[in-house]
Every structure is written in C-alpha cells, then in structure tokens.
Amino acid sequence: MRMCLAVPGKVTEIKGKTAIVEIMGVLREASLELLEDVKVGDYVILHAGCAIEKLDEAEALKTIELFKELKDIYHE
Amino acid sequence: MNNYLDPYRDTGLLHLWAERLQKYQGKPLKLMEVCGTHTMAIARYGIRTLLPERIRLVSGPGCPVCVTPSYYINSAVALARRPETIVATFGDLMRIPGDEGSLLEAKSLGADIRVLYSPLDALKIARDNPERQVVLLSVGFETTTPIFALAIDKASQEGLNNFTVLSANKTMPEVLKVLAGDPTVGIDGYLYPGHVSAIIGTRFYEELAEKYGVPGVVAGFEPLDILTAVAALSEICNEGRHTVRNLYTRVVKPEGNPRAVQAMERVFEPADAVWRGIGRISGSGLAIREEYARYDAWKVFDLQIGEYSEPEGCRCGEILKGTKSPGDCPLFGTRCVPENPVGACMVSSEGTCAAHYKYGGIR
Ligand code: SF4
C-alpha cells in the first residue's frame, strides 16, 4: 500500500468513531476522528486509515458538467 | 464505484480536451505539479503526450519519501537494529538506501520492522508488545500528518509509554514559495495537490499568486481532472492573471479541513527541514511539540541529525526543481532502476524517476 494513496469510498456503517467504507467492493475500516457529521451513505476520501474529507456530490456533478463545456473552464 | 469514476475518465472528452490544448498558441509555459499522486497519474495516463510542445508539465518535490534526507533513514535503521525496538512504517520507506543500508536490508538481517496501512495501527502493536519499544516512522505532507498527530494524541490519552514517533513531516507552503521565487526554476503556474489542499484549503495559494505572481489550479487525480486543470492553468498563465482556480471542488473547500489542521497543530509545530535534493528550508517542516516530547523518538533516543549528502551522480535535486528530466541523468535506467535505486526519486513508485521508468516519460 502506497502511503500517499487516497481514494473515494462510500460509508456503509458507522460504529462510534469508526466507519466501514466500501472502496470498489472492498470494505475497509476508517477512523472518522478528523471529520464532522459523517453519515451512512456519504462518500469520503480515505487515506491511511482515516477519512480525511467528505465528497460533495453536488460539486462532483458540477465538475462533470464542466468537463463537457469546453469553453467554460477558462473563466469563472 | 466504477460508475462513479467513469465520467472522470471519458475517453471521448479526453480527446476533445487534448485537441483543444493542442491548439494552444500562447507563450511557452512551464507548469509544475507538486504531488506524488499527480506524478504517477500523469505518467500512467500519458498526459504529457497530450500536451503541445509549448506546455511543459514538470514534477516538483511532491513525493514525501523522495524528499526525506538520508540521515533520517540512517536513524531509522539504527533504531531498527536495537533488539528492544519494533519499527513501524509505511512500505514506501523500506527500500530507500541509507549509508548503512535500507530498512529492508535491516529486516532481512533480523530487525523487527512492521509495514503498516495506517499510523493508527502502530498503537495496537505497542499495546500488544508492552515489553518492546515501538517506533513509528512519520513522513508525509499535510494530507498524512494529521493522522500521525491523531496517533500521538491517542497514545498520550492512553498513557502508552512504549510508543514514540520519528518525525520528518513536511509542509508545502514554504517550499512552494522558494520554488516560486527561484528564477532558475522559472515556474509559470502550479498544479496544486488535491489532497494536501483538502486539508490546508486554498487561501495560501491566493497569497502565492498575489505576492509571487504564480497562479495555480487545484486539481483532482483522474485523467479529466488533470487535463482540464492543465488547460485552465495554461489559459490563466497566458493571460497573465494572478489567480487561483479550484477545479477539485468536490473535495477541496477554501478553508480546508479545520479539524485536521487543529489535530496537526496540537501536536506539531513549524520547524526547519532538509529537503533531499533541495536543501534546508526554514519553517518547511514540523517537529513534535514539547508537550508531547515523551513521544518524540529524536529526543527519547537522543538521536543526532546527521549531515546530509546526495548519492554521487544523482540528479534528484534538479529533477525535484523541474530543471532536469530523468533522461538527463546518466544513471537513469542503467545503474539506477526501481529494483536497485541509487537516488530517492527512483525509490518510491511516486518518484519522478520511477514513474518515468515505469510508464516512459516524454520531455
Ligand atoms: S535516475 Fe536515479 S540517480 Fe538519476 S536522478 Fe533519478 S534517482 Fe537520482
């Protein structure tokens, strides 16, 4: 396991300060101590046994739209 | 999850963006990424082959293993050789050559070295082995350091007394300033690391853009993330705008992750640090605060920070500054290969030389 690897996964279960996160079908334990308000069903970025940030689905969709709009990426 | 990533890898769109970039007619640009995961992704997806001649994308000091000086490895090897210690580490550090060999060699000679997935796992090793001293090797940037901080904080709350941390953690801001202000490096724009930014936020980048005139774009790690970020950054640079754009908004907020920053600041304080290949930069590293001194392996084992030297002939320093490419090093692919690395850039799979060796590098 490379130390810098950080990957998105879906929270399937929460027990206290620990979550079970599904990454490409594989379940991993992750500490939730660096985040607030994580819920089952949220996507998080998992790094070295910790969830380090939540993934914002609305922003994810916006980015995908941006990919499709070749011109808009240049200016806000 | 495959579905989730597909839109970020859409080949049709990648070709459209590449075509668009190929038409770039602006001034020649040197863009720098500073993240090992970007280095790998750029090499793996062949991003450089999609860029026009005028846009050079270079890899800066973004791999924490690559910038860790050899004296750190020497200290880790010395600790591993003590019969009472168990050294716990990420696998990436195992093969870095030190003056007295690597950790892997120490292990083959009987040292008790355990490779971890998470720094938090080291606490369990300490609990399970009360008669031994567990030393956790701690290198990394802002993405990883809060997790080491968490481990130290938990050890302190539990009152573990057979657990210490050998830290060489580094932070991005000062080195980014040094490189931005160095005319021999000549960076036009930064491609900012998505997961460091997830922790520290984007405000510092604004400062860099204003004071140093180096704009930047925060980028994710999928091929379309990177290509669109390069496109946006090229345009910003060409127009001479000193701005910062965040294109990884699904993860990065302007304020970052305050909770992770707090965890880091509770345990660590700014310190000078030596960057392999670049040298000493004041305030560019982190040291364990006095309140947590009993968890600081440097102090507990009274280790001396040694001189730092580079392996003869290795060009890592220039490569980490983006002034040379791996192909410019006479040892690349001959004496220096991933199985038998000479310099640090070849050791970690995220190192520039290793990524070029594995996937082939262009320019
Ligand atoms: S090829 Fe090896 S010796 Fe040459 S710069 Fe890269 S790591 Fe150093």
Do B136 and B203 sit in the same domain of this protein?
A: no
User: Residue A1 pLDDT more than 70?
Assistant: no
Element (H, E) at B212: helix B203-212
Residues B57/B29, Cβ–Cβ less than 8 Å: no
The per-residue pLDDT for range A31-49, each reduced to its tens digit, is 999 999 999 999 999 999 9
Do B165 and B108 sit in the same domain of this protein?
A: yes
The reply to whether B1 falls in a domain is: no
Do B74 and B166 sit in the same domain of this protein?
A: yes
> Residue B320's pLDDT is what?
82
Element (H, E) at B38: helix B36-44
Q: Which residue in A1, A2, A3, A65 has the most chain B C-beta atoms within 10 A of its own C-beta, making it the best mutation to test that interface?
A: A3
Do B55 and B162 sit in the same domain of this protein?
A: no
User: Residue A74 pLDDT more than 60?
Assistant: no
- Window 118-157 of B: residues touching A by CB (8 A cutoff) are 118-121, 139-140, 143-144, 146-147, 150
Do B138 and B231 sit in the same domain of this protein?
A: no
- CATH for A7-74 is 2.30.30.140
- CB within 8 Å: A52 and B92: no
Do B267 and B152 sit in the same domain of this protein?
A: yes
The number of the ligand 1 atom at minimal distance from the alpha carbon of B351 is 7
> Residue B362's pLDDT is what?
44
Radius of gyration of chain A (CA): 15
> Residue A66's pLDDT is what?
85
CA-CA distance, B345 to B65, in Å (whole number)? 8
- Tell me which residue of B4, B192, B47 sits closest to A64, measured CA to CA: B4
Domain enclosing residue B127, as ranges: 70-171+256-300
> Residue B3's pLDDT is what?
66
pLDDT band for position A71 (50/70/90)? low
Q: Residue B216's domain is classified under what CATH number? A: 3.40.50.11750
For chain B, percent of residues with pLDDT exceeding 90 = 73
- CB within 8 Å: B232 and A4: no
Q: What domain count does chain B have?
A: 3
Q: Where are the domains of chain A?
A: 7-74
> Residue B287's pLDDT is what?
97
Query: Could you tell me which residues of chain A have a Cβ less than 8 Å from any Cβ in chain B?
Result: 1-6, 8-10, 22-25, 31, 33-36, 43, 45, 47-50, 52-57, 59-60, 62-64, 66-68, 70, 73-74, 76
The reply to whether B280 falls in a domain is: yes
> Residue B244's pLDDT is what?
97
User: Is the distance from the beta carbon of residue B276 to the nearest atom of ligand 1 less than 6 Å?
Assistant: no
User: Is the distance from the beta carbon of residue B355 to the nearest atom of ligand 1 less than 6 Å?
Assistant: no
The reply to whether B307 falls in a domain is: no
The per-residue pLDDT for range B302-354, each reduced to its tens digit, is 998 877 777 888 998 888 888 888 999 999 999 999 988 888 788 877 888 99
User: Is the distance from the beta carbon of residue B345 to the nearest atom of ligand 1 less than 6 Å?
Assistant: yes
User: Residue B363 pLDDT more than 50?
Assistant: no
Check residue B317 and report its DSSP letter: H
CA-CA distance, B360 to B332, in Å (whole number)? 12
Strands, sheet with B163-167, edge to edge from the N-terminal-most edge strand? B113-115, B85-89, B133-138, B163-167
> Residue B135's pLDDT is what?
98
The reply to whether B242 falls in a domain is: yes
pLDDT band for position B288 (50/70/90)? very high
The mean pLDDT of B181-187, rounded to a whole number, is: 91
Do B262 and B127 sit in the same domain of this protein?
A: yes
- Tell me which residue of B68, B165, B84, B82 sits closest to B120, measured CA to CA: B165
Distance from CA of A14 to the nearest CA of B (A): 18
Per-position DSSP letters for B141-177, written without gaps between them: -TTTHHHHHHHHHHHHHHT-SSEEEEE--B-HHHHHH
- CB within 8 Å: A53 and B251: yes
Long-range contacts of A68-76 (CB under 8 A, 24+ apart): A68/B13, A70/B16, A70/B17, A70/B20, A73/B228, A73/B231, A73/B232, A73/B247, A74/B231, A74/B232, A74/B235, A76/B245
Mean pLDDT, chain B, rounded, equals: 92
CA-CA distance, B322 to B320, in Å (whole number)? 5
Angle at B250 between CA B245 and CA B252, to 5 degrees: 55
- CB-CB neighbors (< 8 A) of A35 in chain B: 257, 259
- Tell me which residue of B241, B234, B242, B192 sits closest to B212, measured CA to CA: B242
In this structure, of A67-76, B237-246, B275-284, the range with the lowest mean pLDDT score is: A67-76
Residues B156/B119, Cβ–Cβ less than 8 Å: no
CA-CA distance, B66 to B237, in Å (whole number)? 28
Identity (one letter) of the amino acid at B351?
G
SS3 B21: helix
- Kindly state the tokens that stand for B154: 């938990």
The mean pLDDT of B84-98, rounded to a whole number, is: 92
For ligand 1, atom 7: residue with the closest CA: B343
Do B80 and B166 sit in the same domain of this protein?
A: yes
Do B260 and B296 sit in the same domain of this protein?
A: yes
- CB within 8 Å: B250 and A67: no
Mean pLDDT, chain A, rounded, equals: 87
CA-CA distance, A47 to B163, in Å (whole number)? 22
Do B140 and B285 sit in the same domain of this protein?
A: yes
The per-residue pLDDT for range B119-161, each reduced to its tens digit, is 999 999 999 999 999 999 999 999 999 999 999 999 999 999 9
User: Residue A54 pLDDT more than 90?
Assistant: yes
Do B47 and B100 sit in the same domain of this protein?
A: no
- CB within 8 Å: B143 and A1: no
For ligand 1, atom 6: residue with the closest CA: B353
The reply to whether B306 falls in a domain is: no
CA-CA distance, B134 to B206, in Å (whole number)? 41
Q: Residue B267's domain is classified under what CATH number? A: 3.40.50.11740
Q: How far is ligand 1, taken at its centre, from the CA of residue B74, in Å? A: 20
- CB within 8 Å: A8 and B4: yes
The reply to whether B177 falls in a domain is: no
User: Which of B65, B316, B352 to mutate to test ligand 1, by most ligand atoms within 8 A of the CB atom?
Assistant: B316
User: Residue A70 pLDDT more than 80?
Assistant: no
B78 CB within 8 Å of a chain A CB = no
Q: How far apart are the two ends of chain B, measured CA to CA in Å? A: 34
The reply to whether B10 falls in a domain is: yes
The mean pLDDT of B184-211, rounded to a whole number, is: 95
> Residue A75's pLDDT is what?
47
Q: What is the 3-state secondary structure (H, E, C) of B261-303?
A: HHHHHHHEEEEEEEECCCEEEEEEEEEECHHHHHHEHHHHCCC
Do B103 and B164 sit in the same domain of this protein?
A: yes
Long-range contacts of B326-334 (CB under 8 A, 24+ apart): B326/B352, B326/B353, B326/B356, B326/B357, B326/B361, B327/B356, B327/B361, B329/B353, B332/B356, B332/B357, B333/B357
CA-CA distance, B316 to A32, in Å (whole number)? 37
The reply to whether B129 falls in a domain is: yes
> Residue B1's pLDDT is what?
44
